[in-house]
Structure formats: C-alpha cells, structure tokens
Amino acid sequence: MSVWDAIWTGLVGGLCASLVWFLVFRLIRPRVRIAPKASWDPKAGLVRFKILNSASRDLIDLRFQLDVLRPRVGPRGITYTRFRVPLTAQPPVLLAGKRRGGDDSNAYRVAARLDPSEVFTEEDNHFVRFKVFGRDAVSGVGRVAEASYHSIDDFVTGTYEKGQTFEIAQRKLSSQRS
C-alpha cells in the first residue's frame, strides 16, 4: 500500500465516522421549539410562551429565562442591559416527548407578569428574549433554544390552542391556567 492510498483510506474513513457521529448526535439531541408569537392576556397581566418537545424522548432539567434587553451604544460598540422577568411558576421536572396520538403532553406554556405596551416604547429599542434549556432524558445531551420578540406585534392578545400548534385563540381570556 502506498502512502497516498493510506492517506486516502484515512480521509474516507474519517469522513464516514464523522457522518455517522453527526447522524447519531442529531438523533440524541433535544429538539425544542418556541412559539414565534407570545400570547398576551391584558386582564390578567400575563404573557405566555409555548414550547414543544419535538423529539420522541422526554426532556429533563428544564430551565426557563425571560429577559428584557435594552441595547446601548457606547464607545466600544453595543452593550445590552438585561432586566430579568420572574416567571409565575416553577418549571416542570419533565416534559414528555412527542407521542403518536397527538396529545399535548409534549407542550408547555410558561407565564410571566409582563406588559408589552410598557416594554416597547417609541424612544427605546427594547426587546424580549425567552430561553429554554433542557436535557435529553436518555443521553443527557443538553440544548438551549431561544426566541426574541422585537415589537409589540409579536405579542398577540389571546391564549394558545391546545395541542401541537402555536395558534393563538381570542377566547377564554383570564380564565385559562398557565
């Protein structure tokens, strides 16, 4: 075997091993989706964010973080002042994986006391960032998912529909639990 054959064999073998690892890692990594629009209940003063676990396995060690960020231009570039917004409830211990049958056990709504009309004023460039961290229950691989909401149009008055959808219904304001 020549030197070039050995290099070629090592290169092809390395690429194949990388592809296999990429596919395995894709299967064991959590898949969390966050709603592109937040629901807002002005009567209760609550903003809700819906998350879905799109993977077939459960998520554990869930943590949520909601921040209002204010950009400031300084001499060394843009810096962000972060204001943490407390959530109304503790995160669940487990978020079930997506099951066949279409139930909503893999969906969860997170609520916080926040008034979008006070956050988005014309003189400031505030925006809201919602982060979710979860680990796969089998592999232990973690993932952070985040969504940013840059205008008041990203907050729709109503409540989320049940199930695998991010649709927001205009009915039952203030009467549905978070």
Reported as a single tens digit per residue, the pLDDT across 23-59 is 877 777 888 999 999 999 988 889 999 999 888 888 8
Which top CATH class is 31-169?
mainly beta
Question: pLDDT digit of tens for each residue in the chain (178 aa)?
Answer: 788 888 888 899 999 999 988 887 777 788 899 999 999 998 888 999 999 988 888 888 899 999 999 888 888 888 888 999 999 988 888 888 887 666 678 889 999 999 888 888 777 788 999 999 999 888 888 889 999 999 888 999 988 888 888 888 875 444 444 4
Q: What is the pLDDT of residue 175?
A: 45
Domain ranges of the chain: 1-30, 31-169
Antiparallel, parallel or unpaired: β 38-41 and 155-157: parallel
Can you tell me the distance from the alpha carbon of 61 to that of 55, in angstroms, rounded to the nearest whole number? 15
Q: What is the pLDDT of residue 173?
A: 43
Q: What is the pLDDT of residue 97?
A: 83
139 and 129 Cβ atoms separated by less than 8 Å: no
Q: What is the pLDDT of residue 164?
A: 82
Give one word for 12, left, alpha or beta, with left for phi > 0 and alpha for psi -120 to 50.
alpha
Q: What is the largest CA-CA distance in the chain?
A: 77
Residues 6+ apart with CB under 8 A from 165: none
Q: For 177, which DSSP code?
A: -
Long-range CB contacts (< 8 A, 24+ apart) of 27-32?
28/136, 28/138, 28/139, 28/141, 29/55, 29/136, 29/139, 29/141, 29/143, 30/55, 30/59, 30/134, 30/135, 30/136, 30/141, 30/142, 30/143, 31/55, 31/143, 32/59, 32/132, 32/134, 32/143, 32/145
Q: What is the pLDDT of residue 50?
A: 93
Can you tell me the distance from the alpha carbon of 52 to that of 167, in angstroms, rounded to the nearest whole number? 13
